[in-house]
Chains A and B, each alone.
Chain A
Amino acid sequence: MAGIVGYGAYIPRYRIKVEEIAHVWGKDARAISGGLGVKEKSVPSLDEDTITISTQAARNALEYCGIDPQKIGAVYVGSESHPYAVKPSATVVAEAIGATPELMAADYEFACKAGTAAMQTCMAFVDSGMVDYGLAIGTDTSQGRPGDPLEYTTAAGGAAYIIGKKDTVADIEATYSFTTDTPDFWRREGEPYPSHGARFTGEPGYFRHVRGATEGLLEKTGYKFDDFDYVVFHQPNGKFPMRMAKKFGIPKEKIEVGLLTPMIGNTYSGSTPLGLAAVLDVARPGQLILATSFGSGAGGDSFAIKVTDKIHKNPRPVKDYVERRSYLTYGEYIKHRKKIRM
């Protein structure tokens, strides 16, 4: 059975407060922050992008497990903000960690769930014996149009998972996906910012697919919600995952550990992988984790993950990255995000 051999996270150090953005657009900061359940979001440095964040997360994952990068046989990078339209992020990441040249590599895109799709691909490669180790990464430096509600949450960060069979720190017992054509959120070729269906992104998008994937996983495995010690749902804001948990009758304590959006915003493809990493940082052997991602367009990937006795202290825990922060003004923020035309 494929499992997680190593994992690593990375979140840029810069933040902007919801209050600062709301002030610029003449909105009520308290109402927006309360409505979204988000206080501030992470912002990449001028020299950071999906490739650099993915590389740092991958290096942290290698540091965690100590495997030889030459043993990695597949690298898949999931993101909706790949720096190139044509030229893979995965080749740069693979080269930077020293995994080339004997490997399969490609980029994935499925809105916010490209990272978990990469994990499933690596699981299949490992289970079929095609590779010993696969590296799956979910990262984004997501974009929000100035003045759009998305601007309050679109953040940057990522997490990397080394999937293998030997010395797993957590076994992925099962995965289940739920996919339909739902036009809740999209970005056309050449467009700098995404468009979305506002409230349509809720019930027909997020809730239907997270519910579909999660219920499918429970039916497949026979688990009940009570069996899980921690739950991670995709977190486009601080409210949706809490509401989903409430509908399922999952107590707040089980979801809070992996809920990072209130402090760092929505890291898109990095969202569920980072939430899961925060849970693995504190999980004990034998504990069971439910993780369900959501990607607009739309689909959800659900995982049942059991922590093994090989779990050990993460030298670069998610918490440290969350706490490392330096605030930007809105003016500095638009410079960082290259929103100024020069």
Chain B
Amino acid sequence: MPHRKSLASVWRRIPQRYRMESTMCETCGTYFFPPRNFCPTCRRKSKIKHYAAKGTGKVYSYTVIHVPQEGFELEIPYVLAVVELDEGAKLTAQLCDVDLEDLKIGMPVEVTFRRISEGKGGGIIHYAYKFTPISGQNK
């Protein structure tokens, strides 16, 4: 999730970042994340509908970041994963509250709401989804 300076672009993404709202194509049944207003498969036959992801899925792939981008220095090593949502859409997100030795492709995860980054010098705080393993209290 790149750090964006424009307040308007952050604000426009609130529905997808806070509530995982996106779109799907009714014609072919494909779920998108982030939202598309056009289905690349069905093209002019696209029937685009709004949906909110349940927020559960599994780790499709992951990588451990040791050399962070600016603003993430305190968090290393942290996990960036491709999560496959139960609806079928895949998205890139940070995994949190996870021990590196427990990481596994296919591990079930669920959405949580966390700080992603913050603007320098008293700037706005960016909040969004991250994913956390489903275990213990999350069962």
B-facing residues in A47-80 (Cβ within 8 Å): 47-49, 51-52, 55-56, 59
Bound CA–CA A317/B26 (angstroms): 38
- Closest chain B CB from A11 CB (angstroms): 9
Asked if B14 is an interface residue, CB under 8 A from chain A, the answer is yes
Asked if B100 is an interface residue, CB under 8 A from chain A, the answer is no
Q: Is the CB of B125 within 8 A of A84?
A: yes
Q: How many A-B pairs with Cβ below 8 Å?
A: 56
Answer whether A96 and B137 are a contact pair too, CB < 8 Å, given A47-B115, A49-B115, A335-B74: no
| Proximity string of chain A (310-336) to chain B, C-beta cutoff 8 Å, 1 when within and 0 when not | 000000110011011010000000010
The residue that B19 contacts in the complex, of A45, A98, A316, with Cβ under 8 A, is: A98
Asked if B89 is an interface residue, CB under 8 A from chain A, the answer is no
Asked if B112 is an interface residue, CB under 8 A from chain A, the answer is yes
The residue that A56 contacts in the complex, of B112, B116, B136, with Cβ under 8 A, is: B112
Tell me if B's interface is mostly helix, strand, loop or mixed.
mixed
Asked if B130 is an interface residue, CB under 8 A from chain A, the answer is yes
Bin the interface of chain A by size: 20 to 34
Q: Is the CB of A92 within 8 A of B19?
A: no
Asked if A198 is an interface residue, CB under 8 A from chain B, the answer is no
Q: Is the CB of A96 within 8 A of B74?
A: no
The residue that B96 contacts in the complex, of A47, A49, A96, with Cβ under 8 A, is: A47
Q: Is the CB of A45 within 8 A of B113?
A: no
Bound CA–CA A45/B96 (angstroms): 9
Bound CA–CA A143/B14 (angstroms): 29
- Chain B: CB-nearest residue to A84: B125
Asked if B51 is an interface residue, CB under 8 A from chain A, the answer is no
Bound CA–CA A48/B96 (angstroms): 10
The residue that B138 contacts in the complex, of A83, A316, A323, with Cβ under 8 A, is: A316
Asked if A95 is an interface residue, CB under 8 A from chain B, the answer is yes
The residue that A47 contacts in the complex, of B14, B52, B75, B137, with Cβ under 8 A, is: B75
Q: Which 4 pairs between the two chains have the least Cβ-Cβ distance?
A: A320-B137, A47-B114, A96-B18, A47-B115
